[in-house]
Amino acid sequence: ILEGKVALVTGSTSGIGLAIARSLAAKGAKVMLNGFGDPAEIEKLKSELGALHDGADMSDPAQIEAMVRHCSDELGAPDIVVNNAGIQHVSPVEEFPVEKWNAILAINLSAVFHTTRLTIASMKAKGWGRIINTASAHSLIASPNKSAYVAAKHGVAGFTKTVALEAAKDGVTVNCISPGYVWTPLVENQIPDTMKARNLTREQVVNDVLLAAQPTKRFVTPEEIGALALFLCREEARSITGANLSVDGGWTAA
């Protein structure tokens, strides 16, 4: 169903982005991967998905611009953009490192603006496009010690709604997917800092902090997010725009 479509998926060498790239490639999209990682692993992913890769650092607007050009030159202008690259840092606001704040705002929020501003005109011109932003349950609610992340993700939700309105008549939908806790390296890596910040054991962080928020008491899987992203690319989803779709095991219902 995505034959002939070009999909640019940021932060797709791991976790949720990789699962989204797999689900779009499986339905025929030509995929441009992005993200960091071991070069041999990235080569393996490229051949598995028949994809290309651009290692642009999403905190750098010039590299983002070069990546969009690379995609357009090699595969064609993106019909589907998945803004997924993201990082986390856990710390009380009074100790929050300024460079971490700046990096989180740049990668988790400003990069979404840059890829969008650089790709939406050609989508509008074709009368078809999909912009899918990986937001978070933290685009709707907050948790302590995540000031930069929560601010950035609330920003993504607002940006998504705004661009959805601007593109509504042009066949371009703009949505965000807001996962709860998904078991990926991003979540695994914040366990030690949360242990320190809240003086808890590893088991207490998993059960009493992470899964405590999720009524289903299980982690969301990356494949579940990939399946929803694919649905948003289907014709049946053309009226879904400006939405913030929660996939959080009931977290934000509570």
Residues acting as catalytic residues: 149
- Which of the residues 122 through 141 are near ligand NAD (CB under 6 A)? 134, 136
Nearer to ligand NAD, 84 or 241 (CB): 84
Tell the burial category of 11 from Cβ atoms under 10 Å away from its Cβ (0-12, 13-18, 19+): buried
Would you say 41 or 74 has its CB closer to ligand NAD? 41
Interface residue with ligand NAD, options 7, 8, 9, 13 (CB under 6 A): 13
For position 58 contacting ligand NAD by CB under 6 A, the verdict is yes
Cβ atoms 215, 180 nearer than 8 A: no
Q: Which is nearer to ligand NAD, 21 or 164 (CB)?
A: 21
List the one residue from 6, 7, 9, 16 that touches ligand NAD (CB under 6 A).
Answer: 16
The answer to whether residues 27 and 230 touch, using CB atoms and an 8 Å cutoff, is yes
Query: According to the binding rule CB under 6 A, does residue 59 interact with ligand NAD?
Result: yes
Spatial distance between the Cα atoms of 153 and 64, rounded to a whole number of angstroms? 19
**Min CB(124)–ligand NAD separation in Å:** 25
The reply on whether position 251 binds ligand NAD by CB under 6 A is no
Are β-strands 172-179 and 52-54 bridged in parallel, bridged antiparallel, or unpaired? unpaired
The binding track of 167-206 with respect to ligand NAD, each residue x by CB under 6 A or -, is ------------x-xx-xxxx-------------------
Q: Work out the angle at residue 57's Cα, subtended by the Cα atoms of residues 242 and 65, and round it to the nearest 5 degrees.
A: 65
Please choose, from the candidates 108, 113, 76, 116, the residue with its C-alpha nearest in 3D space to the C-alpha of residue 11. Answer: 108
Does the protein bind ligand NAD through residue 249 (CB under 6 A)?
Answer: no
Alpha helices of the chain — where are they, by DSSP H?
A: 15-26, 39-49, 61-74, 98-104, 111-126, 147-167, 185-198, 202-204, 222-233
The answer to the question of residue 57 lying near ligand NAD (CB under 6 A) is yes
Nearest partner of 74 among 1, 8, 172, judged by Cα:
8
Give whichever of 17 and 78 is closer to ligand NAD, judged by the CB atom: 17
Residue 6 DSSP SS3: strand
Q: Which residues bind ligand NAD (CB under 6 A)?
A: 11-17, 34-37, 57-59, 84-87, 107-108, 134, 136, 179, 181-182, 184-187
